[in-house]
Amino acid sequence: MYIRCTAVQKELPRIQNYIGGRFVSPIGGKYLDNIEPATGQPYSLVPESDARDVEAAVEAAETVFPEWSRTPAAERSRILLRIADLIERDLEKFARAESTDTGKPLALARSLDIPRASSNFRFFATAILHTENEAHVTDGIAFNYTLRQPRGIAGLISPWNLPLYLLSWKIAPAIAVGNTAIAKPSELTPMTAFLLCEVCREAGLPEGVLNIVHGTGPEVGAAITGHPKIGTISFTGGTVTGRKVAEAGAPLFKKISLELGGKNPNIIFADADFDAAIAGSVRSSFANQGQVCLCGSRVFVERASYEEFVRRFIERVAQLKQGDPLDPETEQGAIVSKMQLEKVKYYVELAKEEGGRIALGGERGPSPNDRCRDGYFFPPTVITGLPVACRVNREEIFGPVVTITPFESEEEVVRYANDVDYGLSSSVWTQNLSRAHRIAEQIHAGTVWINCWLVRDLRVPFGGMKQSGVGREGGEEALRFFTEPKNVCIAR
Ligand code: NAD
């Protein structure tokens, strides 16, 4: 649901597109309201760009590509390191902007989102200085080596839940290896991408290497995925949108990476370190109001410990401090949009119809303060008693809602864990090492965390199976995705 700007709101600060190193208004002159989720009120305007703005970005990116792709890696690295430093210098400004734009707690933006954005630039800035090319000797006949070259213009499309964290996770590897890029942040959370452009300019990133075009998915996103000159698409978002991106890119033979939705299992065995499992499960259920694609929204607990787990888990969740996201003490902020809030409420009602018991939460409480009286708040909600195969246990809610289900055996819980269309991540809590390895082998997910959650080493492959995506990002995988391998074969 987009909210077009009204005459009264015309005086709100305007975010601008960043094309060819300049801040520009959308060619069509149209803007959308950018709503602060904590208040439900518009606080800035975001360009409602269209295909013409994307075309201008393509021209800028195409013009500078020959120069940027030939720029020595050491120089590209230096500029990216400078970007990382400047994000760190402006951490407070970025964190406040991210919190205001998304409704996430300021403390989370300060400790996770913005430091990670800086790390993304730093990581790929140095990664390109340490890569190796393969060589293959063909017995007495030839010698082969692999050239990995930038592919041209990369289209980078990201969602609203971790705006700068995820956009920089795409921008950094794409431009580090010598591509130019056109990025489209979510229209719901455009602010930190806008601030990033200032930082890129200050860092000396040449004009046109990074272009940011703001607007909706059907207009700007579709113009990017359908543009014949944008041969590489890295997309993170929902599975339904991912399908559209694949449909648009496939006939043009684009190289596409899709990081999509999840319905991740969080499995607790009776032999787990219970304190750690409960603390970890509270985080994996409700971090960022449950709006992390990696959240463990389906908790499975071995029968022998089920009652104790539910009791202690609920006690801990009830202590989470919901409040104004800008209050540094707040642990649970607002849901990103009215539409997302309605979706969460819908699934809680559905859970009741499907036989679930609302063990905690389920209804909006009082507003944290007067400023937030119209904000999109929903309390952490815990549901028990649902059948494993019901819709609430199979469909992605992407909000502060978890279900808890008992299981009897390893074999049974693996079946439960895998019985969804998604396969993004999973957590297993057990002290039994052999069991941990056995389960890790059997679970259909791109990531299996054992006795932890959201430990993210930037070198490891990241992505999903089944409807959670196609391809992997992170470390070497990202460097490979954003380059074209060319075999050079020399006869002896
Ligand atoms: P979304 O799919 O609605 O939007 C994602 C982006 O795609 C936005 O920028 C949007 O404007 C754009 N878009 C929409 N329609 C498009 C189209 N037709 N063509 C091109 N682009 C289009 O997702 P969302 O609601 O912003 O984010 C939530 C979803 O993202 C959840 O499903 C979540 O699991 C997923 N997610 C996945 C990961 C991951 O790494 N796998 C990470 C974060 C979020």
Q: What is the pLDDT of residues 46-63, one digit of tens each?
A: 999 999 999 999 999 999
Q: Is 399 in the pocket of ligand 1 (CB under 6 A)?
A: no
Degrees to nearest 5, angle at CA 13 with 8 and 19? 125
Ligand 1: distance of its center to the CA of 8 in Å?
30
Q: Known catalytic residues?
A: 259, 293
Q: Tell how strand 447-450 and strand 425-429 pair up.
A: parallel
* pTM for this prediction: 0.97
Q: Is 398 in the pocket of ligand 1 (CB under 6 A)?
A: yes
pLDDT tens-digit readout, 369-381: 999 999 999 999 9
pLDDT for the residue numbered 366: 86
Q: Tell how strand 357-360 and strand 381-384 pair up.
A: antiparallel
Going by alpha carbons, the residue nearest to atom 15 of ligand 1 is: 217
Is there a contact between 409 and 403 (Cβ–Cβ < 8 Å)?
A: no
Residue 69, CB-side half-sphere exposure with 13 Å CA sphere = 19
Q: Is 219 in the pocket of ligand 1 (CB under 6 A)?
A: no
pLDDT for the residue numbered 7: 45
pLDDT over 50 (residue 160): yes
Ligand 1: distance of its center to the CA of 40 in Å?
21
> Which structure tokens are listed for 256?
């596409």
Is there a contact between 475 and 173 (Cβ–Cβ < 8 Å)?
A: no
Going by alpha carbons, the residue nearest to atom 31 of ligand 1 is: 238
- Which atom of ligand 1 lies nearest, measured to the CA of 340? 25
Residues of the chain with pLDDT > 70, as a percent, come to 98
With residue 78 as reference, give the H or E element that holds it: helix 73-89
pLDDT tens-digit readout, 295-327: 999 999 999 999 999 999 999 999 999 999 999
Single-letter amino acid, residue 72: P
Q: Is 161 in the pocket of ligand 1 (CB under 6 A)?
A: yes
Pocket-testing residue among 227, 293, 294, 347, ligand 1, by greatest number of atoms within 8 A of Cβ = 293
pLDDT tens-digit readout, 17-48: 999 999 999 999 999 999 999 999 999 999 99
Q: Is 361 in the pocket of ligand 1 (CB under 6 A)?
A: no
Q: What is the mean pLDDT of the chain?
A: 97
pLDDT category, 3, cuts 50, 70, 90? Answer: low
Ligand 1: distance of its center to the CA of 260 in Å?
7
Pocket-testing residue among 219, 236, 343, 472, ligand 1, by greatest number of atoms within 8 A of Cβ = 236
Is there a contact between 341 and 335 (Cβ–Cβ < 8 Å)?
A: yes
pLDDT tens-digit readout, 228-287: 999 999 999 999 999 999 999 999 999 999 999 999 999 999 999 999 999 999 999 999
pLDDT tens-digit readout, 190-245: 999 999 999 999 999 999 999 999 999 999 999 999 999 999 999 999 999 999 99
